[in-house]
């Protein structure tokens, strides 16, 4: 049975929802990309070996009938894959579709179902390129639909409730799992399998769902959506940006390989405050000489990579508090505007 043992939670949370007519309800579009929330297994105790993206969005919506009391919900399948296979082409397709839908007066909010492995990357990309103040909420789950205590149904219910909320407008792209609401800029996956994996360790959540109500208590202050200069409406591809990880006894050959493979930018997942070994530093400096933009991030997981005088000398960019995977997203978009490291540094300071 789909979503076994999980709908009782949804039933409890819907108690506060008023009985509105169809015409009174907001119109929310759910765009599906697959992932665990659409996963299925023959065993109800299987939470890791399931088939990702096995269910289509119509099946998922049908399994949560309580959604009808929140909004006029309709679904659209963009792709149906594990999020590890989301690529730049899919990001562009999704962003363009969202902007088209939100430009219509018949759509009040968007929910995107997504696998959790790269959910934060898609969320941050959309945070920079969506051109609307209407709510966009990214949601996933850590347990497949067939699992005991599947978390997908209530997560989806919460996402639709957020997307239906007037208070969610102009807050940028939001992420919700486990009753929390995170800003795309700050939220990240922190645990491989736990349902409370998505956290905003330094900046905190922007809100939560409590007692069936959407409550906000923080605002994301970095530029996003309508205040962002990045526009993908006329783009059919994005610049190649690679991520290179630092470690003891690393070498420069990965930098050389990335340059030879056509990288326009490289994000360094540095140790500590973005530090690099002498040999890696040589590779990075030579990459800059060949027109590649180097951005220093950190493999630590939290904290700001500070910008030093040596970075100006080397013409390096630093990522502020963006982790490597999100720094890659911003660097890709920055490179559609300029190759000037000083201007790109401004983007990292602003976004």
Residues involved in catalysis: 36
- Coil, strand or helix: which one is 234? coil
CA 152 – CA 209 distance, rounded (Å) = 15
The C-alpha atoms of residue 239 and residue 221 are separated, in whole angstroms, by 27
Measured in whole angstroms, how far is the alpha carbon of residue 305 from the centre of its chain? 21
Query: What dihedral angle (degrees, nearest 10) is formed by the CA atoms of 204, 243, 81, 39?
Result: -50
Tokens of 345: 């540094």
Gap between the Cα atoms of 276 and 271, Å rounded: 7
Partnered with residue 127 across adjacent β-strands are: none
Strand order in the sheet with 293-298: 241-245, 265-270, 293-298, 317-318
CB 99 within 8 A of CB 233: yes
**Residue 14 in contact with residue 32, Cβ under 8 Å?**
no
Tokens of 216: 């906000």
DSSP class of residue 26 equals P
Taking alpha carbons only, the member of 243, 54, 39 closest to residue 141 is 39
Give the C-alpha separation, 105 to 122, whole Å: 25
Rounded to the nearest angstrom, the gap between the alpha carbon of residue 272 and the centroid of all alpha carbons in its chain is 24
Q: Which two tokens stand for residue 340?
A: 């000037």
């Amino acid at each position: 049975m789909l979503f076994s043992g999980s709908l009782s939670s949804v039933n409890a949370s819907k108690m506060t929802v008023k009985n509105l007519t169809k015409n009174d309800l907001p119109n929310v579009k759910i765009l599906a990309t697959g992932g665990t929330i659409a996963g299925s297994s023959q065993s109800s105790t299987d939470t890791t070996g399931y088939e990702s993206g096995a269910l289509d969005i119509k099946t998922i919506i049908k399994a949560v009938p309580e959604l009808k009391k929140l909004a006029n919900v309709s679904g659209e399948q963009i792709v149906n894959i594990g999020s590890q296979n989301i690529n730049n082409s899919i990001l562009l397709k999704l962003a363009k579709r969202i902007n088209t839908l939100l430009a219509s007066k018949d759509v009040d909010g968007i929910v995107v179902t997504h696998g959790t492995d790269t959910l934060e990357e898609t969320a941050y990309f959309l945070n920079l390129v969506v051109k609307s103040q209407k709510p966009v909420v990214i949601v996933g789950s850590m347990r497949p639909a067939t699992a005991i205590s599947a978390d997908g149904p209530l997560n989806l219910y919460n996402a639709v409730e957020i997307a239906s909320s007037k208070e969610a407008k102009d807050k940028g792209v939001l992420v919700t799992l486990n009753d929390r609401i995170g800003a795309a800029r700050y939220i990240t996956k922190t645990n491989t399998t736990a349902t409370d994996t998505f956290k905003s360790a330094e900046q905190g959540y922007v809100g939560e769902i409590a007692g069936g109500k959407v409550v906000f208590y923080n605002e994301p202050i970095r530029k996003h959506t309508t205040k962002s200069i990045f526009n993908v409406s006329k783009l059919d591809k994005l610049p190649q940006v690679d991520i290179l990880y630092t470690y003891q006894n690393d070498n420069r050959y990965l930098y050389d390989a990335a340059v030879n493979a056509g990288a326009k930018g490289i994000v360094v997942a540095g140790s500590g405050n973005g530090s690099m070994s002498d040999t890696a530093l040589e590779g990075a400096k030579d990459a800059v000489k060949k027109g590649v933009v180097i951005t220093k991030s950190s493999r630590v997981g939290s904290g700001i990579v500070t910008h030093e005088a040596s970075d100006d000398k080397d013409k390096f960019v630093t990522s502020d508090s963006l982790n490597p995977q999100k720094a890659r997203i911003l660097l890709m978009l920055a490179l559609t505007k300029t190759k000037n490291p000083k201007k790109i540094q401004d983007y990292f300071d602003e976004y």
